[in-house]
Structure 1
């Protein structure tokens, strides 16, 4: 019970801490000045969503890199789903981001009579790329195209008993982001996901439409915001609202906290998610 309420507790307690840090009276965020250094390749600072995150910063510069570790919990009624992920993203050249991710799901029944609890597994081996084709410091706007390839795997308890890879997910996507004034950020992330199941050779399609709104605290890398994660599949519409915040605890370490509130409880109930972000080589100027 305490684990399920961690997202609510943190979201109630931490805003006071975030705003207590807002004592810097500079007009622009210090991080905006750093990211948009005129001596470097043009780049616009955008607040990156924490749950459906980007492959790399929009307008990525060569040499940027980042490690992410995520932990989450979702209440599905008859069972709980614990999630974990490890991902590494980097920019081998300007404007291009690459990512490798390993997402895990561990299922635990809350009802001893429930026989339909899914099997725990490494969900997939996920590889992705993203290219920023438009970056305008004048208009504080960036756009990118990307592609995610997932190689789905079977449950842990079925290893060695059949096919290891059970399907593929093909997911092209488009991202557009704009910063309004110095602190307000909006972002659209959308695209289809084609799920190819090897068992019956069927392909199912769903659409993701994710809209994001964030407010970045002046003079810090901290923000408050919300994701609206929407999915359309076979005429069925689902949306989960994810209020969130990011807190910088060191020059190159940040923590993101997310709560998930579905508008309908067909598939899941309340959820929480924590993301630890480490940026090797990042130093505050």
Structure 2
């Protein structure tokens, strides 16, 4: 018996399987990008979206996209812990246009013998209404840009709720520029002023946010690891928080994001943690 001849088909099968395994990871990314971008409708580039300072809707949003977010967070301050909770709904009523409604809450717990009256009161912080328009989407350059605006009606805390109902307003126009480098590496800049108008005093306070982020998307999935650099300039003061993060797909239309907060130059804030649950109703993906 000619064993070499008998083994030839088996060896060919092994070689083909090995070759497929070698190219599968390289091709998975490009195939998934094609799946997201080459659908009916206008051009769209796949970008990794930051988890803490998130976008109003995907850049290059397509009509009919929608998403629910639930967020939970904890910030360790010197005199108290602050517990964050938010619920938001975002949707695209037309191509490249995203809208969002958000209700953010904060609850406080005293530390180190601090009196309850000496710390902030629990509150529904505000009613946030936002819009975002992707004015530039270029698949060849893997680059997208958007302009947006957030209007935040600030509400009185629970200790004084209804007196008045709305104590101020925050005007927040912003610009987003995102670029994907190759198949896996993503970068994004989110920047703009926040102008707070206190109705009782009539005063305006202005801060400027510069949020940059970098992410690595895991091959063939929407899972990623990355970091946000959240920077704020206000009245000559500079604050920055590093937020390492990861996002995991736990179902076809359900993702969870986990974020840690590490302050670099904050006088009163220490470490923080944040988790975001993302549900995309009616949306099914081949990859998670």
TM-score by length of 2: 0.88
Task: Summarize the alignment of residues 220-235 of structure 1 with structure 2, pairs less than 5 Å apart.
Answer: 220-235=221-236
The 3-state SS of whatever aligns with 1:220 is coil
Whether 1:55 and 2:56 are equivalent positions in the alignment is yes
How far 1:31 sits from its partner (Å)? 3.6
Contact 2:80 2:114 in 1 (8 A): no
Contact 1:31 1:221 in 2 (8 A): no
Contact 2:63 2:93 in 1 (8 A): yes
Contact 2:168 2:198 in 1 (8 A): yes
- Per-residue CA deviation, residues 181-208 of structure 1 (Å, 9 max, x unaligned), is 0000000000000000112110000000
Q: Which residue matches 2:179?
A: 178
How far 1:113 sits from its partner (Å)? 3.5
The 3-state SS of whatever aligns with 2:118 is coil
Q: Which residue matches 1:12?
A: none
How far 1:33 sits from its partner (Å)? 2.3
The 3-state SS of whatever aligns with 2:281 is coil
Contact 1:189 1:210 in 2 (8 A): yes
Q: Structure 1, unaligned stretches of length 5 or more? A: 1-22
- Per-residue CA deviation, residues 125-159 of structure 1 (Å, 9 max, x unaligned), is 00000000000000000000000000000111212
Q: Structure 2, unaligned stretches of length 5 or more? A: 1-22
TM-score by length of 1: 0.89
Q: In 1, distance between residues paired with 2:280 and 2:55?
A: 15
Cα distance 1:31–1:281, how it changes in 2: closer, same or farther (>3 A)? farther
Q: Which residue matches 1:254?
A: 255
Contact 1:24 1:219 in 2 (8 A): no
Whether 1:79 and 2:80 are equivalent positions in the alignment is yes
Whether 1:124 and 2:126 are equivalent positions in the alignment is yes
How far 1:252 sits from its partner (Å)? 0.3
- Per-residue CA deviation, residues 214-268 of structure 1 (Å, 9 max, x unaligned), is 0000111100000000000011110000000000001100000000000024131
Please, which moves more after superposition, 36-45 or 143-152? 36-45
Q: In 2, distance between residues paired with 1:113 and 1:223?
A: 40
Q: In 1, distance between residues paired with 2:24 and 2:201?
A: 59
Please tell me the root mean square deviation across aligned C-alpha atoms, in Å.
Answer: 1.3
Q: Which residue matches 1:163?
A: 164
How far 1:38 sits from its partner (Å)? 5.0
Q: Which residue matches 2:149?
A: 147
How far 1:34 sits from its partner (Å)? 1.9
How far 1:26 sits from its partner (Å)? 4.2
- Per-residue CA deviation, residues 77-97 of structure 1 (Å, 9 max, x unaligned), is 110000000000000000000
Q: In 2, distance between residues paired with 1:246 and 1:170?
A: 30
Q: In 1, distance between residues paired with 2:217 and 2:272?
A: 24
Q: In 2, distance between residues paired with 1:174 and 1:277?
A: 23
- If asked which structure has higher relative contact order (CA below 8 Å, sep 6+), I would say 1
How far 1:27 sits from its partner (Å)? 2.2
Q: In 2, distance between residues paired with 1:129 and 1:113?
A: 40
How far 1:175 sits from its partner (Å)? 0.2
> In the comparison of the two structures, how many residue pairs are matched?
262
Whether 1:64 and 2:71 are equivalent positions in the alignment is no
Whether 1:274 and 2:275 are equivalent positions in the alignment is yes
Q: In 2, distance between residues paired with 1:24 and 1:86?
A: 38
Q: Which residue matches 1:27?
A: 27
Which one has a bigger Cα radius of gyration?
2
The 3-state SS of whatever aligns with 1:199 is coil
